[in-house]
């Protein structure tokens, strides 16, 4: 009997030491004593309720920030057991609240996985609270007990009765201001995490209320992480319905939702037992590896790749993925213990992802192709950016300036004051050089038809002399490397002949600018010079820009007029070219604008792609549209 008493006493002392340790080193249990640690107290209690939900006994969790600064977490689970604990001979609820590491289930079933950051349980919450009250509804009775920094204020008591089916736990706590620097709870911080918990535990309704401000939120997601991925993508342009799969291997449950958007950001959110694994880990590595392989396999099988396999970066551009795992014995590593270390998980996630994605791609070829195309776009942009970078590097190596020999630069250096004329052909280039105002107008003659960048590989684009001259003269670089700060002229003016060839060259240039220097267009730096079609002479010269206008002018001036048709820019003498097309006081310029980026993309790929007919039609239709900037 004495021996038994000693054993009991000894373990009791151990318990007290346990909670003392929590107060001595709170950060070891809740991460910090700052804002994050304070809110962790709420999550610790909520996680216990979520465990009840995972076990199938709870579907409602209510969190409220009370007017007196305390927080209440109420659930409709089974209620913490109240019967005497076999070892401690006190109600189980008292053990759970006052004994360190007693927070876990006594009957840890296969899926009873604690979601707490450190799995410390609610005893840590009570240890760090100046007051905590627990109400348990179980077996038709309502029980209550209160605790001060982890010590019971009185024995568990029955305070009322209720329906036998009405069960649950209600925990109210007042964080100890001797421990926490600030004990005020932040609604939006709780909101974010509780929403996340609701996404990760479908069909669990989580309510959040701030009794002071009367703010209220309810989270309930029947679609679980499918709704999560949609929610993350809600402001983005999704490319397809979410891909979803879930499978289990060796007790590890893998659940994943994937959705690509038209954007460029990669967003993979990993959760292990509902903990956001901010630092990544083996599950993320397994997922990424399988994603890259599954997409390359599909693309290869369907002969969609021309420049070899896609890289991981390519296939993750525009990707949003939610990866949620249930791991029975998770090993958390890293600075903030949010990196999954279990080595076996990598292979499990890899295999499940590979099989599931491959299956999905086979069954949904339209979506699969859309994803492959997205990755191909990324690949194109990436290699374009690399070429441009190399180009800039090469340019710097050759400095001073390293400007193309064909460029007739202007003398002013301030880009706000200068303009660059891109002129079709060397002869027109010659006239333009004579006609220009050297101070602020630079001329870059282009050899005939420039390369169609829509059809050429980036490698070809960046080894093309005309394009390299163009990029070097403009100065900004291209693609990811584009920098408006380096722009050497505030107006880039495309000046081509007023005929079909001229229109074609103009479209080729526009395609180049759209695909490689889009910000230049968005910033309003790109213009098209409008050159006249005719010169009508009667007393003085009239320049006419269209056939319609010519008719009107002839009607107005009578029938003995001299009409001269300009076949090309080269036919005009320098004075005429200056008067009609280059003098800022009298010239007409069309500013190039992109009204709808998606549509523009489609237009350029359609027009500059392989089909010739729609291109011709477009050029004929649009050649003389657009607003006029004088």
Among 499, 541, 549, 601, the active-site one is: 499
Residue ranges of E strands in 56-99: 60-65, 71-75
Q: Return the number of the residue (135 or 290) whose C-beta is nearest ligand 0RA.
A: 135
Q: Is 499 a catalytic residue?
A: yes
Q: What angle do CA 218, 221, 225 make, to 5 degrees?
A: 130
Among 75, 176, 227, 466, binds ligand 0RA (CB under 6 A): 75
Q: Which helix (H) or strand (E) holds 590?
A: strand 588-591
Q: How far is CA 388 from CA 219, 312, 393, 425, 570, in A?
A: 48, 21, 8, 25, 33
| Using rule CB under 6 A, residue 85 touches ligand 0RA | no
Q: Return the number of the residue (52 or 196) whose C-beta is nearest ligand 0RA.
A: 52
491-495 sheet: strands from edge to edge:
441-446, 419-424, 491-495, 526-530, 588-591
Tell me if 211 sits within 8 A of 304, measured CB to CB. no
Q: Is 611 a catalytic residue?
A: no
Gyration radius of the chain over CA positions: 36
- Fill in the per-residue mask, 129 to 158: x = in contact with ligand 0RA (CB under 6 A), - = not in contact: ------------------------------
For residues 110 and 113, give the distance between their C-alpha atoms in angstroms, rounded to a whole number: 8
Q: What are phi and psi of 300, to 5 degrees?
A: -65, -45
- Which residue number is nearest to ligand 0RA in terms of Cβ? 48
Q: Return the number of the residue (126 or 324) whose C-beta is nearest ligand 0RA.
A: 126
For residues 588 and 529, give the distance between their C-alpha atoms in angstroms, rounded to a whole number: 6
Beta bridge partners of 219: 206
| Using rule CB under 6 A, residue 78 touches ligand 0RA | yes
Among 12, 23, 105, 247, binds ligand 0RA (CB under 6 A): 105
Q: Return the number of the residue (108 or 438) whose C-beta is nearest ligand 0RA.
A: 108
- Least distance from C-beta 93 to ligand 0RA, angstroms? 8
Q: Return the number of the residue (81 or 475) whose C-beta is nearest ligand 0RA.
A: 81
- Least distance from C-beta 75 to ligand 0RA, angstroms? 5
- Least distance from C-beta 64 to ligand 0RA, angstroms? 15
Q: Give the number of residues in contact with ligand 0RA, rule: CB under 6 A.
A: 16
Residues 6+ apart with CB under 8 A from 36: none
Among 47, 51, 424, 579, the active-site one is: 424
| Using rule CB under 6 A, residue 94 touches ligand 0RA | no
Exposure string for 459-496, b = 16+ CB within 10 A, e = fewer: eebbebebbbbbbbbbbbbbbebbeeeebbbbbbbbbb
- If we measure between CA atoms, which residue out of 283, 53, 54, 311 comes closest to residue 169? 53
| Using rule CB under 6 A, residue 202 touches ligand 0RA | no
- Least distance from C-beta 131 to ligand 0RA, angstroms? 17
Q: Report residue 68 as tokens.
A: 């007196």
- Least distance from C-beta 121 to ligand 0RA, angstroms? 8
Q: Return the number of the residue (105 or 406) whose C-beta is nearest ligand 0RA.
A: 105
- Least distance from C-beta 92 to ligand 0RA, angstroms? 7
Among 266, 279, 333, 501, the active-site one is: 501
Among 80, 284, 294, 327, binds ligand 0RA (CB under 6 A): 80
Q: Is 424 a catalytic residue?
A: yes
| Using rule CB under 6 A, residue 107 touches ligand 0RA | yes
Q: Return the number of the residue (81 or 477) whose C-beta is nearest ligand 0RA.
A: 81
| Using rule CB under 6 A, residue 294 touches ligand 0RA | no
Q: Give the distance, in angstroms, between the CA of residue 207 and the centroid of all CA atoms in the same chain.
A: 28
Q: Return the number of the residue (208 or 572) whose C-beta is nearest ligand 0RA.
A: 208
Residue 608 neighbours by CB distance under 10 Å: 21
Q: Which stretch binds ligand 0RA (CB under 6 A): 77-85, 213-221, 443-451, 532-540?
A: 77-85
Among 22, 42, 49, 269, binds ligand 0RA (CB under 6 A): 49
Q: How far is CA 572 from CA 497, 503, 527, in A?
A: 11, 18, 21
- Least distance from C-beta 12 to ligand 0RA, angstroms? 20
Interhelix angle for 365-398 vs 282-301, to 10°? 100
| Using rule CB under 6 A, residue 96 touches ligand 0RA | yes
Q: Give the distance, in angstroms, between the CA of residue 563 and the centroid of all CA atoms in the same chain.
A: 59
Tell me if 509 sits within 8 A of 467, measured CB to CB. no
- If we measure between CA atoms, which residue out of 171, 166, 160, 218 comes closest to residue 74? 171
| Using rule CB under 6 A, residue 169 touches ligand 0RA | yes
- If we measure between CA atoms, which residue out of 244, 236, 231, 285 comes closest to residue 265? 236
- Least distance from C-beta 171 to ligand 0RA, angstroms? 6
- Least distance from C-beta 328 to ligand 0RA, angstroms? 18
Q: What are phi and psi of 67, to 5 degrees?
A: -60, -30
DSSP-based three-state secondary structure for 444: strand
Residue 530 neighbours by CB distance under 10 Å: 20
- If we measure between CA atoms, which residue out of 491, 502, 484, 501 comes closest to residue 591? 491
- Least distance from C-beta 22 to ligand 0RA, angstroms? 17
Among 41, 53, 63, 122, binds ligand 0RA (CB under 6 A): 122
For residues 223 and 201, give the distance between their C-alpha atoms in angstroms, rounded to a whole number: 9
Residue 316 neighbours by CB distance under 10 Å: 23
Q: Which stretch binds ligand 0RA (CB under 6 A): 78-86, 189-197, 336-344, 526-534?
A: 78-86
- Fill in the per-residue mask, 28 to 47: x = in contact with ligand 0RA (CB under 6 A), - = not in contact: -----------------x--
- Least distance from C-beta 294 to ligand 0RA, angstroms? 40
Q: Return the number of the residue (60 or 456) whose C-beta is nearest ligand 0RA.
A: 60
Q: Return the number of the residue (93 or 461) whose C-beta is nearest ligand 0RA.
A: 93
Q: Return the number of the residue (50 or 345) whose C-beta is nearest ligand 0RA.
A: 50
Which residues are annotated as catalytic? 424, 497, 499, 501
The residues binding ligand 0RA (CB under 6 A) are 45, 48-49, 52, 75, 77-78, 80-81, 96, 105-107, 122, 169, 171
């Amino acid at each position: 009997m004495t021996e038994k008493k000693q054993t009991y006493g000894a373990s009791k002392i151990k318990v007290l030491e346990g909670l003392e340790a929590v107060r001595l080193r709170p950060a070891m249990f809740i991460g910090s004593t700052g804002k994050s640690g304070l809110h962790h107290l709420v999550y610790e209690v909520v996680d216990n309720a979520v465990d009840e939900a995972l076990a199938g006994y709870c579907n409602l969790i209510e969190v409220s920030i009370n007017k007196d600064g305390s927080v209440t977490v109420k659930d409709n689970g089974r209620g913490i057991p109240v019967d005497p604990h076999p070892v401690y001979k006190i109600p189980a609820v008292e053990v759970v609240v006052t004994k360190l590491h007693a927070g876990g289930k006594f009957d840890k079933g296969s899926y009873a996985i604690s979601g707490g950051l450190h799995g410390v349980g609610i005893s840590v919450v009570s240890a760090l609270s100046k007051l905590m009250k627990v109400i348990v509804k179980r077996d038709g009775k309502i029980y209550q007990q209160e605790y001060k920094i982890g010590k019971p204020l009185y024995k568990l008591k029955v305070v009322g009765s209720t329906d036998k089916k009405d069960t649950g736990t209600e925990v109210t706590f007042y964080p100890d201001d001797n421990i926490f620097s600030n004990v005020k709870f932040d609604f939006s911080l709780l909101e974010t995490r509780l929403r996340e918990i609701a996404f990760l535990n479908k069909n669990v309704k989580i309510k959040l209320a701030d009794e002071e401000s009367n703010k209220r939120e309810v989270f309930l997601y029947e679609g679980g992480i499918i709704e999560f991925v949609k929610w993350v993508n809600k402001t983005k342009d999704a490319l397809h319905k979410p891909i979803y799969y879930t499978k289990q291997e060796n007790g590890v449950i893998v659940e994943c939702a994937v959705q690509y958007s038209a954007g460029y950001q990669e967003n993979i959110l990993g959760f292990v037992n509902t903990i956001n694994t901010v630092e990544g880990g083996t599950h993320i590595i397994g997922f990424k590896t399988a994603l890259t392989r599954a997409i390359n396999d599909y693309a290869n099988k369907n002969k969609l790749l021309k420049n070899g396999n896609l890289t991981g970066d390519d296939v993750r551009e525009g990707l949003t993925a939610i990866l949620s795992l249930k791991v029975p014995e998770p090993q958390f590593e890293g600075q903030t213990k949010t990196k999954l270390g279990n080595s076996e998980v990598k292979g499990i996630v890899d295999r499940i992802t590979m099989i599931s994605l491959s299956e999905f791609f086979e069954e949904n070829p339209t979506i699969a192709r859309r994803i492959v195309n997205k990755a191909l776009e990324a690949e194109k942009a990436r290699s374009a950016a690399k070429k441009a970078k190399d180009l800039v590097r090469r340019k710097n190596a050759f400095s001073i300036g390293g400007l193309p020999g064909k460029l007739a630069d202007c003398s002013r250096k301030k880009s706000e004051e200068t303009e660059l004329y891109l002129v079709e052909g060397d002869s027109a280039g010659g006239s333009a050089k004579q006609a220009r105002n050297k101070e602020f107008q630079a001329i870059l003659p282009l050899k005939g038809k420039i390369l169609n960048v829509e059809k050429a590989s980036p490698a070809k684009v960046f080894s093309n002399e005309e394009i390299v001259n163009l990029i070097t003269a403009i100065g900004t670089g291209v693609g990811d490397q584009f920098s408006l700060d380096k722009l050497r002229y505030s107006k880039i003016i495309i000046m081509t002949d007023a005929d079909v060839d001229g229109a074609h060259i103009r479209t080729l240039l526009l395609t180049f600018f759209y695909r490689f220097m889009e910000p230049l267009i968005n910033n309003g730096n790109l213009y098209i010079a409008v050159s006249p079609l005719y010169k009508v002479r009667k007393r003085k010269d009239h320049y006419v820009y269209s056939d319609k206008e010519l008719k009107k002018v002839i009607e107005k001036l009578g029938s003995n007029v001299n009409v001269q048709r300009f076949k090309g820019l080269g036919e005009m003498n320098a004075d005429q070219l200056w008067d009609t097309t280059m003098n800022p006081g009298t010239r007409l310029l069309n500013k190039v604008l992109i009204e709808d980026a998606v549509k523009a993309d489609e237009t350029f790929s359609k027009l500059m792609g392989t089909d010739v007919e729609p291109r011709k039609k477009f050029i004929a239709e649009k050649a003389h549209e657009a607003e006029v900037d004088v």
